[in-house]
Structure 1
Amino acid sequence: MKKIYLLSTVIALITFCSGCKKYLDVNADPATPQTPASRTLTPPLFAGMERGIQYDARYLGGLIQYFGGNVNVGETHGWIAGSDAMGEIWRSNYFALGPNLNLIIDDSNKKQEYNYVGLAQAVKAWSWQTTTDYHGEIILKQAFDISRYVYDYDPQQDVYTEVVRLANESIKSFSRTDGNGTVAKLVPGDLIYAGDSTKWIKFNYGILARNANNLVNKASYDPAKVIVYVDKALSSNADNFIVPNTGTTAINSNFFGPLRANLGAYRQTRIIVGLLDGTYFTGTSGSVIDPRRNNMISPSVDNVFRGTNPGSGDPGTVAAKNQIPNPWGVLASGNPGPNQGKYLFKDNAGFPIMTYAEMQFIKAEAAFRMGNAPLAYQAYLNGIGASIDFVSALGTAISATDKNAYMASAAVRQNASLLTMRDIMLQKYLALYAYGFVETWCDLRKFNYYEGDAKGNNPYLGAYVFPTSFFADNGGKPAQRYRPRYASEYVWNIEALKKIGADKNDYHTYKMWFSQP
């Protein structure tokens, strides 16, 4: 009887609702769609790319000596136990980006919108590359298997292979002429290249160039392949991958800007000051003043440019530290300084994910390694020039006269026969200041900081200086990786971590696969 009554009630409800919108279909609410359109998913993805790098740059920036001030354990190559600090790139890859990228790929394939598929594949390739270069072994094959509650880690070599596969698949997707993927459909969701598939293809080749160029210590390293990738990658500053920031409120502002107030205790560093005043190019402080200097860093109140030493926070005394501006140009002592920010530290500054300058320095390095000095030299000059133009566009315009004077100065090699690996890598280090955090760290590690690479090149000798003492857990060794995110791994997945040694206090000093012979 009870069953018959219930059945009758259900039939009555179905009859009542026939021909109209399903009353009981909770998934039909237009305000909370269960399968959102790809164009609504992509803008937050770009914000996630920026957020992961910038959040973790608070620690990594000190390690690679883009930032100083002895603010945290970054400068001493340390880590913080039981904390999610240094885990934002991990969070972005597995939570902010990964699931949404998978949704876009699945949905757009069904709709035959292959340019959206290509966009998602490109961002996914970039994210895997960035995450493995930051963490080393990571979860790849089981990453988005929702039937699991523990996940195994994969070797870094497998991740590098997957990046190559994804980037090439993205290139294929953007090259398709069939289907329904029009430029007009992609424009609303593409805040970077406004639907231009050719620029997305260039971005993919840039990812491939990074991937291949990190392997300089491997027998499989092929500089000719790197050059082929670069030549198909970003071809001018117009192709730069820049995540935009509005900068009108703290909510829509650049994480590095004054409105967000995240870098008040951070200081400019000795090495950046020394690169901009010619010290590390000519051996004499103040010998060649880089035209980028006033746009990128600030002087103290006495008009002297100072920078902090690694791990000590100042060039000698606390009083001296208080005379070193933070990235906005404001002094710790409270002395007046411009509070609108400068360079990439302005509220409305976009954040670069990849630039033409970086690609040219990658080409210069590869050409130098294959013994093609003229090709290396031209790429080296292209990289410096592109960086000057990029910095000029972000602040006070750098005149052609000042740019040409610098290019003709002792800070820049004047012919191919004099070019060294040090010239290339230090100019690249400077060009990537305040955005190429992970890429610069890759360079430092593949050269074993200043011990040199497999060929004996040691371009950072005398420029990058280790702190006077490393973090206690390091055993006197520099950091080579950051640990997986605490909340999602050490709390729930500790047995998998033990298999790769990540339960050890010195795990962060284990060398990467990519940096070893």
Structure 2
Amino acid sequence: MKKLYIVLIAFAITFSGCKKYFDINTDPATPQNPESKTLTPPLFAQMERGVQFDSRYLGGLIQYFGGAVNVGEQHGWIQISDAMGEIWRTNYYGLGANLNLIISDSEGKQEWNYVGMAQALKAWGWQITTDYHGDIILKQAYEPNRYVFDYDPQSDVYAEVVRLANESIKNFSRTDGAGTVAKLSSPDLAYQGDPAKWIKFNYGLLARNASNLINKSTYNPTKIIEYCDKSLASNADNFIVPNNGSNSADANFFGPLRQNMGAYRQTNIIVGLLDGTYFTGTSGLVIDPRRDNMITASADGVFRGTLPYRADAGTVAAKNQIPNLWGVLGGANPGAGLGKYIYKDKAGFPIMTSTEIQFIKAEAAFRNSDPTLAYTAYLKGISESIDFVSSQGVAITPAAKTAYLTSAAVKQSAATLTLRDIMLQKYLALYGYGFVETWSDLRKYNYITGDSKGNNPYVNVYVFPTTFYSDNGGKPAQRYRPRYNSEYIWNVAALAKIGADKIDYHTIPMWFAQP
């Protein structure tokens, strides 16, 4: 990553009997030391932007989206392109130095809640960037007067996430200094300055971080359960980035105003999870009450989804059989203000939800040989997801929710619960927003191969494409490459050290997924 520094050479301009006409260092129109409150609001839009831009490709890989729109469904990449590099850009450019400025400004003012917020967003940025790219630039990232940067191993980044999240918790717990809820409430678009919710968010980051380590000897399910118990407790705690939806500039990237998703289709996996195929088999299907809010039937009333990349998946005829994500056929734009679920112009974008935390807890408890606790968290995760989906469209009635929770699609006792049940319900619940987290789950279980203990929750559900991208050597993708414009132009020597100059670099398994 190349930092550009502008060297300003000052020329003395002398006017007899007059002061200098300008001084860029004191120009009130271009402040040199922006305050934390002015830097904060755009940060949330950057978080949303990074995930949503890259989800156009990752969404196909994890099979949330289909339609043979791009190489994502083939686990591929695009050479000489910044495609798939938006999370990188978000971390290093959108957040990066801005968070450092906030910390510097707020430490001087003893506004510890601003410091804590910046540390929490740093932790989030490092976590999602390493889970997406693997080895990344950590220690040298913001060193001045440096033009090339060495990469750090993923294990170091994971440790830094833990450090930052714990520091953020400490700062939000402080009662001294000049930081107040009132000072942070307006710029804070997610939690309106509520320190308790920021602390919960940090514990959610710690839970994500630790949950990915199921193949490591250091995996500690008891600690994960502790993190979850201190994290998001209900949908009221969800971290949601709001969208005004008044025009294309402030509308949801997924909404009709932006016209980004007209070619994308719902997938066979999502349809099969919502109609009960993967929970009850082809006989006695149980329709999930979330189905009509999350996906759409074809013109003949049948719910259809695309399969992973195949030759005919992207043809007009094939696409016109399956509604797109807005809920219409043929790629038509339903019009501003329309669409469905989180594919609406004004829909907020979830960064973390309570339902995700409950499924992390359920997985940890199951692996900790505590089926009763796992079952309780599993049921709460489904319940929280139904309530969230209900809030995004046509309200789901209490009767419909109860009918589903007591149906054959949901396990009715702790004794019958399996890890597959937990992970598939989590996969479904994170549909449309938890792209990187779902990919982390798929990779830590090695897609359909299973983890180091033989657990294999995605077998016979996740289907590899008929043909992997040509550079893959027949292997699935495990990471995305560093951003082309900053790394492959300016930092090639550092990339070679980690093997990122190889055409199949993106198929090397992540550190967190290896024993």
TM-score range, shorter chain: over 0.9
Among 240, 244, 247, which residue is 1:246 paired with? 244
Using the alignment, how far apart are the partners of 2:489 and 2:287 within structure 1?
50
Using the alignment, how far apart are the partners of 2:456 and 2:464 within structure 1?
14
Q: Which protein shows a greater Rg?
A: 1
* Matched residue SS, 1:343: coil
Question: Aligned-residue CA RMSD in angstroms?
Answer: 1.9
Q: Taking structure 1 as reference, are residues 113 and 339 closer, same or farther at Cα in structure 2, changes over 3 Å only?
A: closer
Aligned length: 504
Deviation at 1:492, TM superposition (A): 0.4
- CA shift digits 1:384-423 (9 cap, x unpaired): 0000000000000000000000001111000000000000
Correspondence list, 1:403-482, <5 A: 403-482=401-480
Q: Taking structure 1 as reference, are residues 317 and 120 closer, same or farther at Cα in structure 2, changes over 3 Å only?
A: closer
Contact 2:69 / 2:314 at 8 angstroms: preserved in 1?
A: no
Opposite residue 471 of structure 1, the aligned amino acid is: Y
* Matched residue SS, 1:345: coil
Contact 1:278 / 1:285 at 8 angstroms: preserved in 2?
A: no
Opposite residue 228 of structure 1, the aligned amino acid is: E
Contact 2:326 / 2:334 at 8 angstroms: preserved in 1?
A: no
Q: What is residue 152 of structure 1 aligned with on the other side? A: 150
Contact 1:328 / 1:338 at 8 angstroms: preserved in 2?
A: no
Using the alignment, how far apart are the partners of 2:412 and 2:348 within structure 1?
33
Using the alignment, how far apart are the partners of 2:156 and 2:202 within structure 1?
18
Using the alignment, how far apart are the partners of 1:226 and 1:167 within structure 2?
14
Using the alignment, how far apart are the partners of 1:335 and 1:391 within structure 2?
22
Alignment of 1:126 with 2:124, yes or no, is: yes
Alignment of 1:227 with 2:225, yes or no, is: yes
Using the alignment, how far apart are the partners of 1:50 and 1:10 within structure 2?
49
Q: Taking structure 1 as reference, are residues 427 and 84 closer, same or farther at Cα in structure 2, changes over 3 Å only?
A: same
Q: What is residue 399 of structure 2 aligned with on the other side? A: 401
Contact 2:67 / 2:313 at 8 angstroms: preserved in 1?
A: no
Contact 1:501 / 1:507 at 8 angstroms: preserved in 2?
A: yes
Q: What is residue 326 of structure 1 aligned with on the other side? A: 324
Contact 1:257 / 1:328 at 8 angstroms: preserved in 2?
A: yes
Correspondence list, 1:258-269, <5 A: 258-269=256-267
Contact 1:274 / 1:285 at 8 angstroms: preserved in 2?
A: no
Alignment of 1:344 with 2:312, yes or no, is: no
Opposite residue 287 of structure 2, the aligned amino acid is: I
Among 286, 289, 292, which residue is 1:291 paired with? 289
* Matched residue SS, 1:352: strand
Q: Taking structure 1 as reference, are residues 145 and 455 closer, same or farther at Cα in structure 2, changes over 3 Å only?
A: same
Opposite residue 59 of structure 1, the aligned amino acid is: Y
Deviation at 1:28, TM superposition (A): 2.4
* Matched residue SS, 1:242: strand
Alignment of 1:483 with 2:465, yes or no, is: no
Contact 2:113 / 2:179 at 8 angstroms: preserved in 1?
A: yes
Q: Taking structure 1 as reference, are residues 335 and 440 closer, same or farther at Cα in structure 2, changes over 3 Å only?
A: closer
Deviation at 1:284, TM superposition (A): 1.3
Opposite residue 190 of structure 2, the aligned amino acid is: I
Q: What is residue 5 of structure 1 aligned with on the other side? A: none
Using the alignment, how far apart are the partners of 2:493 and 2:371 within structure 1?
50
Alignment of 1:136 with 2:151, yes or no, is: no
Using the alignment, how far apart are the partners of 1:477 and 1:413 within structure 2?
34
Q: What is residue 85 of structure 2 aligned with on the other side? A: 87
Q: What is residue 50 of structure 1 aligned with on the other side? A: 48
Among 44, 56, 59, which residue is 2:57 paired with? 59
Among 101, 109, 125, which residue is 2:107 paired with? 109
Q: Taking structure 1 as reference, are residues 219 and 394 closer, same or farther at Cα in structure 2, changes over 3 Å only?
A: same
Q: What is residue 208 of structure 1 aligned with on the other side? A: 206
Using the alignment, how far apart are the partners of 2:397 and 2:64 within structure 1?
26
Using the alignment, how far apart are the partners of 1:50 and 1:335 within structure 2?
22
Deviation at 1:23, TM superposition (A): 5.2
Q: Taking structure 1 as reference, are residues 59 and 28 closer, same or farther at Cα in structure 2, changes over 3 Å only?
A: same
Contact 2:324 / 2:331 at 8 angstroms: preserved in 1?
A: no
Q: What is residue 513 of structure 1 aligned with on the other side? A: 511
Q: Taking structure 1 as reference, are residues 139 and 334 closer, same or farther at Cα in structure 2, changes over 3 Å only?
A: closer
- CA shift digits 1:23-60 (9 cap, x unpaired): 54323233221111111111110000000000000000
Using the alignment, how far apart are the partners of 2:210 and 2:501 within structure 1?
30
- CA shift digits 1:180-218 (9 cap, x unpaired): 001111112101111100000000000000000000000
Q: Taking structure 1 as reference, are residues 454 and 184 closer, same or farther at Cα in structure 2, changes over 3 Å only?
A: same
TM-score, with length taken from structure 2: 0.95
Opposite residue 433 of structure 1, the aligned amino acid is: Y
Alignment of 1:236 with 2:239, yes or no, is: no
Using the alignment, how far apart are the partners of 2:491 and 2:83 within structure 1?
18
Contact 2:336 / 2:345 at 8 angstroms: preserved in 1?
A: no
Query: Structure 1 vs Structure 2: percent identity of aligned residues?
Result: 72
Using the alignment, how far apart are the partners of 1:52 and 1:316 within structure 2?
26
Alignment of 1:382 with 2:380, yes or no, is: yes
Correspondence list, 1:159-198, <5 A: 159-198=157-196
Q: What is residue 256 of structure 1 aligned with on the other side? A: 254
Deviation at 1:334, TM superposition (A): 5.8
Using the alignment, how far apart are the partners of 2:324 and 2:86 within structure 1?
23
Q: Taking structure 1 as reference, are residues 464 and 104 closer, same or farther at Cα in structure 2, changes over 3 Å only?
A: same
Q: Taking structure 1 as reference, are residues 407 and 28 closer, same or farther at Cα in structure 2, changes over 3 Å only?
A: same
* Matched residue SS, 1:47: helix
Q: What is residue 352 of structure 2 aligned with on the other side? A: 354
Q: Taking structure 1 as reference, are residues 26 and 360 closer, same or farther at Cα in structure 2, changes over 3 Å only?
A: same
Opposite residue 31 of structure 2, the aligned amino acid is: P
Using the alignment, how far apart are the partners of 2:485 and 2:332 within structure 1?
38
Among 52, 69, 75, which residue is 1:71 paired with? 69
Contact 2:232 / 2:353 at 8 angstroms: preserved in 1?
A: yes
Contact 2:47 / 2:90 at 8 angstroms: preserved in 1?
A: yes
Gaps of 5+ in 1: 1-7
Q: Taking structure 1 as reference, are residues 336 and 304 closer, same or farther at Cα in structure 2, changes over 3 Å only?
A: farther
TM-score, with length taken from structure 1: 0.95
Contact 1:329 / 1:338 at 8 angstroms: preserved in 2?
A: no
Q: What is residue 498 of structure 1 aligned with on the other side? A: 496
Q: What is residue 3 of structure 1 aligned with on the other side? A: none
Q: What is residue 270 of structure 2 aligned with on the other side? A: 272
